[in-house]
Amino acid sequence: MAAADPAQNIVSYPLAYCLNVHDASTWSAVMRALEEHVVAVKQLVAPNQAFPLSLHLGYQALSEAMTEPNRKIFRAWLTGNNCFLAAMNAFPYCRFQDVRVKEEVYRPNWTTPERLAYTRAALTFLAEFLPKGISGTVTTVPGGWGRNWNGPHDDVPAKANLQRAAETCREIEAASGKVIRIAIEPEPDCVWELFDPRLDDLQPDISWCLDTCHAAVEFRALDNLDWSRIGRVQLSAAIECDNTPAARAALAPFAEPHYLHQTRAALEGTIIASWPDLAPALADLPKLPQQAVVRTHYHVPLTWPGSGPLRSTRDNLTPAFFQQARKVFCEVETYTYSVLPDSLRPPSLAEAIAAELQWAAAR
């Protein structure tokens, strides 16, 4: 994590976890999550340290949070629990937990005024609570869902809106001295890929969020990255297996109705087939060679090493990777606990999140 202002005397835990694992559809839901889960996680991993929050607020929750009474309540909660706001997740606009999300998570996209307004509000909220001396990031959707994108016709307004959001970053820095960057989080089948050249001229206010699950699904190597352009790292793992009948049978319980689980099959690292979700992949995979390697966008806990024919891509997170990642803001991002198959669902969410944090912090 970026160094804190010594005058503020913040001795913090070295990474956060993304609060999109909890319901953030209303401000009251967010406060329940803080009281019921964040306090418990902090007690397990950082009882005597300041604890960084990577807060997700849906649009309604963010609107409610920005009222003066709720800002006072939040500030008092932060002080009383030795926590501080370090980052914001402004990717899911609407409710993200306990509903069918699928491709709706990419709406509204960056061509719309709604996405711009939501991002600006998140930047403003983070600026109020971000401690001085710590750089902040707000994650966002990578343009939009590729199948809903009208090529160059949508590129122009989307980029213009991004530029307007970047102006807000500069206004915040001019007014407060606080540095906040927008961090675009690429996902499979979305418009903007990591280091998309169409956005090169928007640096430095626009950075990239490297989600290691998404990178694994795209068979993207994590070495030789331009770390100067990465503003945030989301530590996460995907499911990997060989294309055998046993592996496909073990993978089938992960085809669930809430989230998209984009899937890729590759031979010797070259993608030979791709699907927007796991169910259609399972229908087609028997037609492909058994030696193909299959990876699925399903965030599995970093503490899970795999089981049977299923593997985790967490081994992609090598010591060399962590040596670079530790220079930027890192968070654990496993939001799928509520939809995991029963065999993987933990009895205690707080203990499971704490174990992931400890796994990553040790590295």
- Would residue 253 count as lying in a domain? no
**Residue 189, helix vs strand vs coil:** coil
Residue 108: asked if its preceding bond is cis (omega within 30°), the reply is yes
* Start-to-end CA span in the chain (Å): 14
Cβ atoms of 209 and 288 closer than 8 Å? no
Alpha-carbon distances of 279 from 107, 178, 249, 311, 345, rounded to whole Å: 22, 45, 12, 19, 21
User: pTM of this prediction?
Assistant: 0.96
- Would residue 311 count as lying in a domain? yes
Cβ atoms of 185 and 215 closer than 8 Å? no
Instruction: Report the distance separating Cα 244 and Cα 253, nearest Å.
Output: 16
Q: Given this model, what pLDDT does residue 10 score?
A: 65
- Would residue 280 count as lying in a domain? no
- Would residue 52 count as lying in a domain? yes
- Would residue 96 count as lying in a domain? yes
Q: Given this model, what pLDDT does residue 172 score?
A: 98
Regions of the chain where pLDDT drops below 50: 1-7
- Would residue 271 count as lying in a domain? no
Domain total of the chain: 1
Q: Given this model, what pLDDT does residue 5 score?
A: 38
Alpha-carbon distances of 176 from 63, 64, 70, 118, rounded to whole Å: 22, 23, 22, 21
Cβ atoms of 283 and 310 closer than 8 Å? no
Question: Domain of 62?
Answer: 6-237+303-361
Cβ atoms of 195 and 218 closer than 8 Å? no
If one counts every other C-beta atom within 10 angstroms of the C-beta of residue 191, the result is: 26
Q: Given this model, what pLDDT does residue 203 score?
A: 75
Q: Residue 83 belongs to a domain with what CATH number?
A: 3.20.20.150
Q: Given this model, what pLDDT does residue 6 score?
A: 33
* Strand segments (E) across the chain: 16-17, 51-56, 83-89, 136-140, 180-184, 206-211, 230-235, 237-242, 263-267, 270-275, 293-300, 306-307, 310-312, 329-332
- Would residue 257 count as lying in a domain? no
Q: Phi first, then psi: give them for residue 210, nearest 5 degrees.
A: -90, 105
- Would residue 293 count as lying in a domain? no
**Residue 161, helix vs strand vs coil:** helix
**Residue 99, helix vs strand vs coil:** coil
Q: Given this model, what pLDDT does residue 102 score?
A: 97
